[in-house]
Chains A and B, each alone.
Chain A
Amino acid sequence: MFRAAHAHRESPPEPIDHHDLVLRPRDVTFHWSATPLHWLPGEPFATHTIDVLHLMLPELERWFVRTFEQALPLITDDRLREDVRGFIGQEAMHAEAHQEVLEHLLTKGLDPAPYTLQSEWIFRRVLGDRPELTLAAAHAHLLQRLALIAAFEHFTAYMGHWILSNEHLDQAGADPAMLDLFRWHGAEEVEHRSVAFDLLVHLDPRYRRRVVGMLVTAPALTRLWIRGVRFLMAADPELDDRIKVRFRDYLAATRKDLLPPPGAFTRSVLRYFRPGYHPTQEGSTQLAVAYLAASPAARAAAQ
């Protein structure tokens, strides 16, 4: 499927990392008519664990866009401003791409609305603007939310790198369009992985700020994810309603390398707490750049 990028493992001098990439959104289109509900054949649990992203991301990424738009006037560094503009456009395209999958789920008889209504409420009401705040308090509120976003972006970069370097999903017969969506998305997450962190540090360099962001984000995201898997397994018209979701299903899927392993995932979260942490230390853009040139959707994009 995606041999071009894996091929360098045989003769690697040193990986290339690009820190000066021009970030631009890509005008991608996906077609879902040939994609089955269980796009990892015979693996409903792994499918739905990854599918939680479709439920969460459209509203999550629109919230990123709205929050970053508010931060834009505060930026005093021209280059960071350019990066934030590129980030906003990429996130807006991600949100729309996942939104279309929600419509596809509905045509397959899975109604995602109960969960997406909750996403909408969380990212618009709970984490949205609070008009009652004074100017100074609203600024602090913005910083809090930027700290949450920087922490979220640590996860998206981790998962982006994971899906780009994973060959077992191809071997498991994953639907090509769905894999392309997640790898295109993952590649852009890796491409722009420093932007949210740089923006936070630009506006508030304190260690405490970013640590609090991760302390709130990590448990909330874990809980939302588990709820999402339970919901999708229950709402799936092709599965028996009595199926229980168990932790060992997750472990079994990670042993087949169909989901990120818990150990590596946890260690990656812990690295965020190191005082000298910077997103560029996580993963490299080489796989991302190679995939964006190989991705059918990204290659077909007009620009």
Chain B
Amino acid sequence: MNTITPVTRPPDLYGRPRSDSFMQKLAALSDHAVTRLARRTTPHTPPRRPPATEMPVIRELVVAAKHQEAEDVVSLRLAAPDGAILPPWQPGAHIELHLPSGRKRQYSLCGDPADRYRYRIAVRRIANGQGGSAEVHDALTDSMRVAVTGPRNAFPFAAEASILFIAGGIGITPILPMAREAARRGLDWRLVHTGRSRASMPFAAELAELAAAAPSRVSIRPDDEFSAPETADLLNLSPAEGAVYCCGPAPMIDGVRRAFGDSRASALHFERFAPPPITDGRPFELQLGGTGRVLPVPHDRSALDVLHEALPDLPFSCRQGFCGTCQVRVAQGHVDHRDRRLTATERAAGAMLPCVSRAPEGQRLVLEV
């Protein structure tokens, strides 16, 4: 698909033995425009507008308050150091925290979108995690500065007329502002919050406040009181033709997605996460061109991540092996293809999608770049 085949002037649409006059006119117009460009002697670069986002993409915020919200859950309120107004956001939005260790973690905003001076996030400590949540818990303290990008929204709220919110544990964070928005708009909504125990479930007081204003809309279901709920039972709470918004641990989202087809609901919203971690990866090497640099690819990184560092302008998009944008050509070496896009012919011709595909341990792929 990315290879440009030389194309000759196409035949007439109806197979008549003459060249198509409209095609000729289009070509003449385009050739004329190109000839005029080529005659330009002075290189002319148009003025470039300053970046479309008026505010910097990475900003420094300061931890204005840190609260214990539940067992293992802290919330942080973040503000601009000079108290300036922050970019607006809508329910479902997240920010990315650049932690002092260099780790980057995305957290949903769980405060009030109308508060333009502070963002609130909440983080559960993951005992066997990769250290990001522990760092937020242990290393980030009051009045410390932290770099942030966003907000951006990968879980947008569409305010359907009837809605069921399903939140598992810390998954309440994006749901809380959505439920408030649903209440504000007078929609027909229900919210279920599940978790291990009441003590582990954050924002109980705020949910109680919502429940007080909207009787019978909020149900809190700790497993130690109600036994762990079946996904189908949760979905049964959805009104007919309603929309479901689900956020929680991956097994919960998978369960809801599987059971969704048999439910009465008509739409399912869940957060679309970044690519899943690499499974069964072995270290190998990439070589840029026949005599170029050799880049080691560790077991836990994709070939694309490594290539992208060396060639920042390399196109890519889905990073999951289906859109085909990052396609490169392999001159030499055996590729372990893991994509869902390339045809056998394309693979035989040396095509590879480095976002997911790899090479056997210790081997080297020579790329034509």
Contact = CB atoms under 8 A, between A and B. Distances in A.
Nearest to A191: B156
B158 interface: yes
B269 interface: yes
B316 A85 contact: yes
A25 interface: yes
A34 to B, nearest CB: 18
Given A3-B266, A115-B13, A144 B43 contact: no
Nearest to A15: B159
B18 interface: no
Interface residues of B, number: 82
Interface stretch (A35-43, A130-138, A251-259, A264-272): A130-138
B46 A203 contact: yes
Contacts of A209: 46
Most chain B beta-carbon contacts within 10 A, residue among A136, A205, A216: A136
A10 B52 contact: no
Interface string A261-303: 0000000000000000000000001110110011000010011
A141 B46 CA distance: 12
B266 A141 contact: no
A69 B4 contact: no
Interface stretch (A44-52, A70-78, A155-163, A177-185): A70-78
Interface string B136-162: 000000000000011111101111111
Contacts of B325: 65, 69, 85, 88-89, 92
A118 B46 CA distance: 33
A127 B23 contact: no
Contacts of B322: 25, 27, 93, 302
Contacts of A88: 315, 317, 323, 325
A223 B154 contact: no
Interface string B226-270: 000000000000000111000000000000010010000011110
B271 to A, nearest CB: 10
Contacts of B158: 5, 16, 286-287, 289-290, 293
Interface in A62-100: 62, 65-66, 69, 72-73, 76-80, 85-86, 88-90, 92-93, 95-96
A211 interface: no
A168 interface: no
Contact of B7 (A124, A133, A136, A205): A124
Interface of B: 1-2, 4-5, 7-15, 20, 22-23, 26-27, 29-30, 33-34, 37-38, 40, 42-49, 51-53, 57-58, 89-90, 93, 149-154, 156-162, 184-187, 241-243, 257, 260, 266-269, 272-273, 275, 312-313, 315-318, 320, 322-325, 340
**6 closest Cβ pairs, A-B complex:** A89-B317, A136-B43, A77-B51, A7-B161, A293-B267, A290-B158
Given A4-B242, A27-B323, A303-B275, 5 more contacts: A8-B160, A16-B159, A95-B1, A124-B5, A290-B158
9 contacts: A18-B153, A20-B151, A27-B318, A92-B324, A137-B38, A202-B51, A203-B48, A290-B160, A293-B267
Interface of A: 2-5, 7-8, 10-11, 13, 16, 18, 20-22, 24-25, 27, 62, 65-66, 69, 72-73, 76-80, 85-86, 88-90, 92-93, 95-96, 114-115, 117-118, 120-122, 124-130, 132-137, 139-141, 143-144, 198, 201-206, 209, 216, 220, 223, 227, 231, 234, 285-287, 289-290, 293-294, 299, 302-303
